[in-house]
Amino acid sequence: GGALFAAGWLAAPLVACGLLKIAYDVALWRAFRKYEEPSS
């Protein structure tokens, strides 16, 4: 159990960075989508 906990603790920053990147990408996509001209 200790080894799994240590591995999870080391991976936590990587997971957090991944989630932050996804949230940032979605935020940018939504912000720019707002300025697009409607095609129809």
Q: What are 1-40's pLDDT values in tens digits?
A: 677 777 777 888 888 999 999 999 999 999 998 877 777 6
Q: What is the DSSP string of 5-28?
A: HHHHHHHHHHHHHHHHHHHHHHHH
pLDDT score of 10 = 81
Q: How far apart are CA 19 and CA 4, in angstroms?
A: 21
Residue 18: per-residue pLDDT = 93
Q: What is the pLDDT of residue 28?
A: 95
Of 36, 34, 14, nearest in space to 26 by CA = 34
What per-residue confidence (pLDDT) applies to 31? 92
What's the pLDDT at 3? 73
Question: Can you give the pLDDT at residue 9?
Answer: 79
